Amino acid sequence: MQTFDEFEKLVAASNQLAEPDENPSQEDKVVEPLFSGTEPSSNEFYVPRIPNRKHPPSNAVTLDYKKRSVDFWRNVATKKRRSLSCVQTKFKKVTSIRQLQEWERHVAEGGSRYDKLKALRLETGKQFFLAKQKPHIVKDMNIRLWAITANRTIGLVGFTASPDWVGKLKRYYGIVDRKITKFVTDKYIQKAPQVKKTAEECVALVRSRISDYGLECMWNTDQSGFDYEMRPGRTLHLAGAKHVLAICQSENSMTHSYTVIMTISPGTRKFFPQLWITLQEDKGVFGPIVARTMFKADNLYVTASVPGKMTKKLYLEWCEKILFSHVEDRCILLADSWRTYSDQEAVLEFKPEELEYEMITSPPKVTGDIQPLDRLFFRMCKDFFRKITNFIILHSLPLQVHHRDVILKMHSLVYQQFQSPRFGDLVSQAWHLCGYTDESFDYVNPTEFSFPEKLTGHCDHENCDDRLLLKCGWCKAPLCFHHFYDQYHLCKIYLP
């Protein structure tokens, strides 16, 4: 575990021009309107001067260096001061007798103002570092209390741990206000080393299989819940607004979800031909009319359950219809610790005799770190899906985004977009980030490519003046919603 001293050295190395313990002079400040006084202002910041290496400032001299210089100058043994030139021979930072006299005063007072400010910063930074290792919730008030408590020992006259000082300390250490994404107990923290060890063992096992059998037989599968109506969580709004509203087509559809199972490989063949989807149906099955009339696509395998989630029966169907139908010779499957996955005896009943099959289960609580789909892929897929949904609602298109057929058609199109060779390195990078492969890849982000900020011009189809939706990941054609969705642009023509 990293110590505070190591942390401080790292911070200091990345803040070589900063002088966090010096009071900025008036000409060093850029001041805009006053701040509230409850939080450090972002409108007031310190512009440091570039230090001159030939003439280091007195601030660069430690209190210990000053003490040794003064003791040598005073020459306690003979009680006769040494000459300036004699002192400078041993202590190169000494410039004058006046400086030595000033250092003597600093030593007597326990340090200069700068020394005491630095001591306060280090002690406060250490308290913050220790608090975040727990990890505790820390606010500006806590930083001020730590600093004021430390000053009882250090004794800097007039120090109040002002908002300006707190803001300067936060900028130096790179401390910012962040949303808490997860609350954990002490038990979770205590188990962290063991959890990390099991994750490393899983990664080592997968790497050994890749070393023995290559990349082509490796697959990672995972399920993820998709809301029936997927909307962005943030929007542009006027500053100061306390309540931010956003329109949706159905409140119910934003709290209900269905399941998507995706499978990816670091080898040449990145995806299975079909995407598994389990929709939510009241009776757990599609009625005869729905089954006959609903949208169908060759790259989708659609099922249903009452909660819209996977069951053991559906998992075995996935193994038979998807997994074992699309692998040959050997398959090493990396999956999470879902309990249903552990029943491999039932799975083996559907396995072809000639297939060499092994399942590696990633340990619990680390799937976000060592599952390629969780680490990088699902997030981008949902972001892409969300862009299209938002376009439909923003422009009041006559579609219900939570309708079964709309969802299936969109998944078919999006899945085909992600299979473009242009985005192949994204899959490879996901495996690399989990530690399974050594080579790093400069991948193309599908959302950034298909929804660029400067998407201008006209739809690729002749005489079409509709507003553009996206740029095709295969043929790079700019397309409106009509020619992408309504005309079902299931492109397979790749243009580099």
Shared-domain flag, residues 168 and 223:
no
User: Does residue 377 lie within any of the structural domains?
Assistant: yes
Beta strands in 229-387 (DSSP E): 257-264, 275-280, 300-305, 330-335, 356-361
Are the C-beta atoms of residues 71 and 104 closer than 8 Å to each other? no
Q: Which parts of the chain have pLDDT scores under 50?
A: 24-56, 58
For the full predicted model, state whether its pTM sits above 0.95: no
User: Does residue 132 lie within any of the structural domains?
Assistant: yes
Of 173, 206, 223, the domain-final residue: 173
Enclosing domain of residue 259: 195-232+247-451
What are 369's two structure tokens? 């770190």
**pLDDT score, position 62:** 81
Helices (H), 338-445: 344-348, 367-370, 372, 378-394, 404-418, 424-433
**pLDDT score, position 19:** 54
Q: Which amino acid is at 392?
A: I
User: Does residue 190 lie within any of the structural domains?
Assistant: no
How many Cβ atoms sit within 10 Å of the Cβ of residue 445? 14
Give the CATH number, domain containing residue 340. Answer: 3.30.420.10
User: Does residue 301 lie within any of the structural domains?
Assistant: yes
DSSP string, 101-163: HHHHHHHHTTS-HHHHHHHHHHHHHHHHHHHHTTT----HHHHHHHHHHHHHHH--TT----H
Question: How many CA atoms lie less than 13 Å away from 59 in the CB half-sphere?
Answer: 16
CA 109 to the chain's CA centroid: 47
Annotate 60-73 with b (16+ C-beta within 10 A) or e (fewer). ebebeebeebbebb
Shared-domain flag, residues 399 and 340:
yes
Are the C-beta atoms of residues 481 and 397 closer than 8 Å to each other? yes
Are the C-beta atoms of residues 481 and 390 closer than 8 Å to each other? no
Shared-domain flag, residues 17 and 130:
yes
Cis, bond preceding 193 (omega within 30 deg of 0):
no
Tracing tokens 């199109």 back to the chain, one arrives at: 413
Size of the chain in residues: 496
Shared-domain flag, residues 300 and 401:
yes
Shared-domain flag, residues 157 and 200:
no
Integer angstrom CA distances of residue 149 from 127, 145, 161, 175, 480: 11, 6, 10, 20, 63
Distance CA 55, CA 325 (A): 74
Longest Cα separation, the chain: 108
User: Does residue 359 lie within any of the structural domains?
Assistant: yes
Q: Give the total number of structural domains in the chain.
A: 2
Distance CA 322, CA 347 (A): 12
First vs last Cα of the chain: how many Å apart? 46
**pLDDT score, position 42:** 42
Distance CA 39, CA 143 (A): 12
Annotate 137-154 with b (16+ C-beta within 10 A) or e (fewer). ebebeebbebbeebbeeb
Shared-domain flag, residues 285 and 145:
no
Helices (H), 272-350: 288-293, 312-318, 344-348
**pLDDT score, position 478:** 97
Shared-domain flag, residues 267 and 202:
yes
Shared-domain flag, residues 298 and 443:
yes
Q: Which residues pair with 275 in a beta bridge?
A: 300
Shared-domain flag, residues 254 and 166:
no
**pLDDT score, position 34:** 40
Q: What is the DSSP letter of 306?
A: S
472: closest CA among 463, 488, 462?
488
Q: Which residues contact residue 191 at a Cβ distance below 8 angstroms, ignoring those fewer than 6 apart? A: none
Of 420, 435, 451, the domain-final residue: 451
Q: What is the DSSP letter of 25?
A: P
Distance CA 226, CA 251 (A): 15
Shared-domain flag, residues 224 and 259:
yes
Shared-domain flag, residues 262 and 154:
no
Distance CA 224, CA 308 (A): 11
Are the C-beta atoms of residues 147 and 156 closer than 8 Å to each other? no
Distance CA 131, CA 461 (A): 60
Q: Which residues pair with 46 in a beta bridge?
A: 29
Distance CA 255, CA 402 (A): 11
Shared-domain flag, residues 126 and 266:
no
Integer angstrom CA distances of residue 123 from 4, 48, 144, 162: 10, 23, 12, 16
User: Does residue 182 lie within any of the structural domains?
Assistant: no
In tens, the pLDDT along 81-91 reads 888 888 888 89
Tracing tokens 């192949």 back to the chain, one arrives at: 424
Of 451, 469, 485, the domain-final residue: 451
Please classify residue 134 by burial: count the beta carbons closer than 10 Å to its beta carbon, then call 0-12 exposed, 13-18 middle and 19+ buried: exposed
Distance CA 486, CA 71 (A): 86
